[in-house]
């Protein structure tokens, strides 16, 4: 009887601590999702307290919306390249900083000055996206005073009289934004992968080197399999970031809430905000939000499934 009473007492104690956080989560996270889903079936303007039920009209309109379709393609393009480039660069730097130096009496070690490099690489992560927008706005300035145009002019690759308008060139603008996201994220994932590498016994690297494995073989045959769980998690988080991009696009590109020139840098989040705040089509914007949520969940599940492999123990 005392054991049963203790179990009930412990359960009540735990439930007491969970009730308030759960209530807050349901109120401020789950309930807004439910409201958004409900509003997506209406013609709500975002201001009027009255609205009509329109069924699936908003979703059928989305299927014909060329701007939203183009924004979806841009998000998918970012979804492929942002995680791939960021993870590859971060993995390479993390490997060099932890096991890329010469092996000596102290065993396998990183390159000289690796501790300082980690701080330098992580520095962009402490900057807010608003600061990044201002910083790279100066880099991409469409005159000779811009850092990139000035550098290319010095090399003789750009005519000073006709500098490249990086953020107004349809073929360049999305790749310029992608570069900002990668530059911002590499440092964080470098530290994440470095922490995972430091938990790997150095004996494993030393054994691989003694067996004649080169740096590339050590990376692909030893480091990558042991860090796969961290890589998988990083791919999901970077995929979610690639499905957003609102802050950078809205602050760095032309147009109402960004997306210029001529919708060539449009992403789903900017189309959503423009419809919600500028055109007053809140119900239609909610339908976009539901589609974004569904796509993010589906793509996250696919990523986890596609990158799943047997856990490697050491």
Residue 247 near residue 269, CB atoms below 8 Å:
no
| pTM of the full structure | 0.86
pLDDT at 106 over 50: no
Give dist(CA 270, CA 253) in Å, integer.
Answer: 11
Give dist(CA 27, CA 221) in Å, integer.
Answer: 47
Residue 177 is predicted with a pLDDT of: 95
pLDDT tens by residue, 199-228 = 777 777 777 777 777 777 777 777 788 888
Mean pLDDT (the chain, rounded) = 85
285 band by pLDDT with thresholds 50, 70 and 90: very high
pLDDT tens by residue, 28-58 = 989 999 999 999 999 999 888 888 999 999 9
Cβ contacts of 268 within 8 Å, gap of 6 or more: 68, 71, 72, 75, 243, 288, 291, 292
Domain 40-306, CATH homologous superfamily name and number: MetI-like (1.10.3720.10)
pLDDT at 166 over 60: yes
pLDDT tens by residue, 227-281 = 888 898 899 899 989 988 999 999 999 888 889 899 999 999 999 999 999 999 9
pLDDT higher for 258 or 85?
85
Give dist(CA 84, CA 86) in Å, integer.
Answer: 6
Give dist(CA 103, CA 42) in Å, integer.
Answer: 66
Listed in order, the ranges of the chain carrying CATH 1.10.3720.10 are: 40-306
- Report the largest interatomic distance among the alpha carbons of the chain, rounded to a whole angstrom: 89
| Mean pLDDT on 110-124 | 80
pLDDT tens by residue, 87-99 = 999 998 888 887 7
């Amino acid at each position: 009887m005392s054991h049963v009473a203790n179990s009930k007492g412990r359960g009540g104690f735990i439930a007491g601590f969970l009730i308030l956080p759960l209530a807050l989560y349901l109120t401020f996270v789950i309930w807004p999702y439910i409201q958004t889903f409900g509003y997506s079936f209406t013609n709500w303007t975002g201001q009027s307290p009255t609205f009509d039920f329109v069924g699936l009209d908003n979703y059928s309109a989305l299927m014909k919306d060329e701007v939203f379709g183009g924004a979806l393609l841009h998000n998918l393009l970012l979804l492929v390249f942002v995680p791939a480039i960021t993870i590859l660069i971060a993995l390479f730097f993390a490997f060099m900083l932890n096991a890329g130096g010469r092996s000596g009496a102290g065993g396998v070690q990183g390159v000289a000055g690796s501790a300082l490099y980690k701080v330098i690489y992580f520095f962009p992560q402490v900057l807010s996206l608003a600061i990044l927008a201002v910083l790279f706005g100066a880099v991409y300035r469409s005159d000779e005073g811009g850092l990139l145009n000035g550098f290319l002019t010095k090399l003789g690759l750009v005519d000073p009289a006709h500098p490249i308008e990086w953020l107004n060139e349809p073929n360049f603008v999305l790749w310029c934004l992608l570069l900002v996201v990668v530059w911002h994220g590499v440092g964080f994932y470098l530290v994440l992968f470095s922490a995972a590498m430091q938990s790997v016994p150095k004996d494993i690297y030393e054994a691989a080197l003694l067996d004649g494995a080169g740096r590339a073989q050590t990376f692909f045959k030893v480091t990558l399999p042991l860090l796969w769980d961290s890589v998988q998690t990083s791919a999901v988080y970077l995929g979610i970031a690639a499905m957003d991009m609102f802050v950078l696009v809205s602050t760095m590109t032309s147009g109402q809430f960004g997306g210029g020139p001529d919708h060539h840098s449009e992403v789903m989040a900017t189309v959503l905000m423009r419809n919600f705040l500028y055109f007053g089509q809140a119900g239609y914007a909610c339908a976009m939000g539901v589609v974004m949520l569904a796509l993010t969940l589906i793509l996250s599940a696919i990523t986890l499934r596609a990158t799943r492999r047997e856990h490697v123990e050491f």
